[in-house]
Amino acid sequence: STLHQSRIRGSVVVTVSAFRHTEQHGCRSILKETGLVTESYFSNSKNVLNLYFVKVSWGWTIVLLLPFISYSNLYNRSYTFVLRRLTSLLVATLIWYTCTWAFFYIEDITGSCYESDTKQVIFGDITTKAACRKEGFIWEGFDISGHSFILAYSSLVIVEEMVPMLHIPQSYRKIFLDCLYIALNAIVAIWIWMFLCTSVYFHDFIDKVLGTLCGILGWYLTYVFWYPMPFSPGLPPQQKQHA
C-alpha cells in the first residue's frame, strides 16, 4: 500500500541520514579540521580536469585505447587476434555502464527528496534524484562514488593494455604509437591525481571505498580471472610470439 511504502521510505531516510551524519563527522572532516587539507582549486568540482576529463573519463579511455590496442597488439600477431582483443573494450564498457547504472539506482531507492530551505522530507510522487532536482529540491541517498569507481577501473584497464609496449622493438614503434603511449600515461597520471582529490574533497568514506572496490573487482574478474581462459578476449600480448 501507499502508506506502507511511505513508512518504508521514511525508515530508509532516517537510516541514511543517521549514517550520513556519522560519516560527515568522521573520516572526511578530520583531515580538514586538523589543517592537513585545505580548500584548493581542485576542491571545486568545476575545475578544468574534472569538467573536461573526469566527467567524460570513459570516453577518453576508449578513444585512446581503441587505436592503441589495434596497433600495439598487431605486432607479430594476426588481425583475428587483434579483433578478439578489441572485444575487451566492449566488456569493459559493459562493466562501466552496469556499475554506473547500479550506483544511480541504489541512490534512488535509498534516498528521499528534501526542501532546500527547511530540509523537510517531501513525500509524494518524487521518487528519483532526477525528478527531485528538476523541482529544485535536494536529494539525499546512498551515493556510491562513481568517480572513485571509474578512475580506479580506467587506470587499471589502461595499465594492463599498455603492457605490449614493453616487448615491441623500437623499429616497430612509429610516432603514432609512441604518441598514443605518451597520451595514455598522461591520462593515467590525471586519473590518479583526480582519484586522490576525490578521496580528500568529495563523497563520504564508505562511498569512496565501495566505488574503488567495484573498480578493482571489475578489473580482477576480467584481467585476472576470465581473460587468461581460452574463451575470452584474451590478455594483451606478454611477449614476442605468433598467434
Q: How far apart are CA 23 and CA 31, in angstroms?
A: 13
Measure the CA dihedral 193/195/198/201, to 10°.
Answer: -40
- Here the cell at position 232 is 575470452
Residue 147 appears among annotated catalytic residues: yes
Q: Is 237 helix (H, G, I), strand (E, B) or coil?
A: coil
Residue 88 near residue 222 (C-beta atoms within 8 A):
yes
Q: What is the DSSP track for 177-221? A: HHHHHHHHHHHHHHHHHHHHHHHHHSS-HHHHHHHHHHHHHHHII
Q: How far apart are CA 243 and CA 229, in angstroms?
A: 15
126: DSSP letter? -
Q: Tell me which of 4, 21, 25, 203 is the catalytic residue.
A: 203
Q: How far apart are CA 96 and CA 215, in angstroms?
A: 9
Residue 216 near residue 152 (C-beta atoms within 8 A):
yes
Q: How far apart are CA 126 and CA 112, in angstroms?
A: 8
Q: Tell me which of 21, 147, 167, 242 is the catalytic residue.
A: 147
Residue 203 appears among annotated catalytic residues: yes
Residue 228 near residue 164 (C-beta atoms within 8 A):
no
- Here the cell at position 110 is 535509498
Catalytic residues: 147, 203
